[in-house]
Amino acid sequence: MKPVSRKQGEGFIQVGVETYGGGLWHTYLLLGFDRDLSIAGRVMVKTEKEDFVQKLVKIARPILRIPTLAIHLDRQETFTFNKETQLFPIAGLVAAELNRTAEAPEATAQDSSDASNIPSDGSFAPTKVPHERHHPHIMELIANEANVPSSSIVDFELILYDTHPACIGGLNNEFIFSARLDNLGMSYCSVTSLINSLSSPSALDNERCIRLISLFDHEEIGSTTAQGADSNLLPSIIRRLSVVGPGSDQTDTAYEQTLATSFLVSADMAHSVNPNYASKYENDHKPEMNKGTVIKINANARYATNSAGITLIQEVARRTKVPLQLFVVRNDSSCGSTIGPMLAASLGTRTLDLGNPQLSMHSIRETGGVYDVGYAVRLFESFFEHFGELEGKIFVD
């Protein structure tokens, strides 16, 4: 939602929104499959003690929808639209809202006077107060979810999401239909495998390595944020970990030695072959769903994988008997990338890119394989358990 999201047009209440990342925006609109949308995110609240705290909110019911134009009114062969003027969702009808609040029609007009800078407590506000910038009814819904008075909301970061829940599908329940598989899918596998690798009380008795996962934000917009992979978060954590604990190396080069003996698995979802667009894939590298995690390779270093890394991950997979697949793009096709090359360059750590295969990446509804989740969890669990042993057996000059 935009900082000032309050809009209306032709009798509709609308909400101003800003696009994020490289979405397949037509999947939010195309073919009449208008989505049931709601909002979720972080709300900053002023407490009675005049502290400012964050509250996480998620309005579960659909309150927004981006309507398409009927095909009878616009028979364009290629679906195009203006993201600034034709992507505003509708939230209700002005008349219905007036009846609900029993307000006069003129009360719905946005007040551009200085009075909009005066909160309910009479103090001065540098910007317009939230109730002026956003529809009051939406503010009420947000306040109810946060369990706070509406007047205590100072600001928020809210995004639109599809309320349709994830589900298992396919004739034999072999598919996962869900939003945001890229990259919540591999995030889930990473967290689950780390927990599983520590299930035994003696799991770390003979462990000389630190088992670590990092879940970064903003990969789709370049990672150059405080919580993105291009920040100093991971290097800072590794630097601190490299000089703590019994038996740790307290030399001036402990951090550099740690990086040299570490291995980074960059886990980001991969592309499954799409039967309707099979020609878009390299003939000998067509990953299939439910046939194992995909190792991603690119000669131009769009992925950070190399032969030493493949050797290691194959041995890890062999220990737990899970299949792996290989993927490269066609020479006449562009290639996506991940945070793998970025972190490999900044850390100087051996890195490999992999991910589970999926269809419709960046769509509002993506498709993954049920069995690939189990394969990835077992693969990562084996990596945590066996890396210390295998690392010393792979020699590269």
For residues 264 and 347, the answer to whether their CB atoms sit within 8 Å is yes
pLDDT value at residue 27:
55
Distance CA 294, CA 228 (A): 24
What pairing do the DSSP bridges indicate for beta strands 293-296 and 324-327? Answer: parallel
Q: What is the pLDDT of residue 373?
A: 98
pTM: 0.86
Task: For residues 384 and 397, give the distance between their C-alpha atoms in angstroms, rounded to a whole number.
Answer: 25
The closest of 351, 261, 342, 272 to 313, measured between CA atoms, is: 351
- Cβ(187)–Cβ(355) below 8 Å: no
pLDDT at 223: 83
Residue 107 has pLDDT above 60, yes or no: no
Give me the amino acid identity at 331: N
Which residues have a Cβ under 8 Å from the Cβ of 364 and sit 6 or more positions away? 23, 24, 27, 28, 35, 162, 179
**pLDDT higher than threshold 70 for residue 105:** no
> What is the per-residue pLDDT for 104?
44
- Return the closest-CA partner of residue 305 out of 254, 271, 359, 341: 341
Question: What is the reported pLDDT for 385?
Answer: 95
Q: Residue 248 has what pLDDT? A: 55
Q: Is pLDDT of 114 > 90? A: no
Q: Mean pLDDT throughout 104-122?
A: 50
Give residue 19's pLDDT band: very low, low, confident or very high (50, 70, 90): confident
pLDDT at residue 113 is higher than 60:
no
pLDDT at 25: 57
Mean pLDDT in residue range 147-156: 94
Handedness of CA 234, 240, 245, 249 (dihedral sign): positive
Alpha helices, DSSP H only, in the chain? 94-101, 130-133, 136-146, 181-197, 233-241, 254-260, 307-320, 340-347, 370-391
Is pLDDT at 109 greater than 60 in this prediction? no
Residue (of 218, 262, 222) closest to 238 by Cα position:
262
The pLDDT tens digits for 312-368 are 999 999 999 999 999 999 999 988 899 999 999 999 999 999 999 999 998 889 999
Structure tokens at 227: 């919580």
- Evaluate whether 187 touches 73 at the Cβ level (below 8 Å): no
152: pLDDT strictly greater than 80: yes
Measured CA distances, 101 to 97, 107, 132, 138, 359 (Å)? 6, 10, 16, 13, 45
Q: What is the pLDDT of residues 344-360, one digit of tens each?
A: 999 999 999 999 999 99
pLDDT tens across 252-271, in order?
788 899 999 999 999 999 99
Share of the chain above pLDDT 70, in %: 90
Band the pLDDT of 22: cuts 50, 70, 90: low
DSSP H or E stretch at residue 83: none
Q: Tens digits of per-residue pLDDT, 160-191?
A: 999 999 999 999 999 999 999 998 999 999 99
CA gap 67, 70 in Å, rounded: 9
pLDDT tens sequence across 76-92: 777 677 888 888 999 99
Task: Give me the pLDDT at residue 52, please.
Answer: 96
Partner residues linked to 265 by β-bridges: 352
What is the tens place of the pLDDT at every residue in 211-227? Answer: 999 999 888 878 878 88
Cα angle: 74, vertex 79, 83; to 5 degrees:
100
What pLDDT, on the 0 to 100 scale, is given for residue 44? 97
| Whether residue 58 has pLDDT greater than 70 | yes
Is 80 exceeded by the pLDDT of residue 246?
no
Strand, coil or helix: 349 = coil
Query: For 22-26, 33-37, 187-191, 193-197, which range has the lowest pLDDT when averaged over its residues?
Result: 22-26
Token pair, residue 3, equals: 């900082």
* Structure token digits, residue 299: 């000669």
Return mean pLDDT, the chain. 88
pLDDT at 125: 78
Q: At what angle do helices 136-146 and 94-101 cross, to 10 degrees?
A: 60
Q: Computed from CA positions of residues 309, 310, 312, 316, in that sequence, does the dihedral angle turn out positive or negative?
A: positive
Lowest-confidence region among 29-43, 63-77, 206-220, 361-375 = 29-43
SS3 346: helix
